[in-house]
């Protein structure tokens, strides 16, 4: 069942099995606030088991582009389109959030972004491949993030 993420009253609904559930909920709420403010889009997520097409799309891009396989269990996912951008998010039990931004009218904006919940360790499958920059968020504390540009067609 889809869940509209509330960025005013942050909830761990759907993320309870994560050892950093509160931080991951803050990260998810931070993304919801961004899309509401920038695009007036209500950020909804559903259990990963019900969003297999989205999880599979993100998984395929990671594997094809960089030979990355995420060890953590996906908990929630979402996919939507705003303007000319197809967006997908997968939130993992470890506290990792992966998003894909994919312009539908050409390769000008196509990237995969990684965000780490506050206090989580950098996943081993990403540690040697990416440098993570930090940013502060009122909802999520200190977020560490990185990205890579997508070269293929998906």
Query: For the chain, what is the total number of helices (H) and then of strands (E)?
Result: 3, 8
pLDDT at residue 11, as a whole number: 96
Task: Indicate whether 138 pLDDT > 80.
Answer: yes
Whether the pLDDT of residue 107 is over 90: the answer is no
Separation between Cα atoms, residue 132 and residue 32, nearest integer Å:
22
pTM of the model: 0.95
């Amino acid at each position: 069942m889809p869940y509209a993420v509330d960025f005013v009253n942050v909830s761990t609904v759907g993320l309870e099995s994560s050892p950093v559930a509160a931080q991951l909920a803050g990260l998810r709420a931070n993304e919801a606030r961004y899309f509401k403010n920038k695009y007036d889009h209500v950020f909804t997520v559903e259990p990963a088991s019900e969003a297999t097409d989205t999880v599979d799309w993100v998984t395929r891009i990671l594997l094809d582009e960089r030979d990355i396989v995420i060890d953590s269990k996906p908990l929630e996912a979402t996919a939507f389109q705003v303007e000319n951008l197809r967006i997908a998010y997968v939130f993992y039990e470890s506290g990792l959030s992966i998003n894909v931004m994919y312009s539908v009218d050409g390769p000008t904006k196509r990237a995969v972004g990684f965000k780490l919940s506050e206090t989580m360790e950098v996943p081993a499958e990403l540690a040697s491949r990416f440098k993570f920059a930090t940013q502060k968020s009122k909802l999520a504390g200190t977020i560490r993030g990185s990205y890579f540009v997508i070269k293929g067609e998906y």
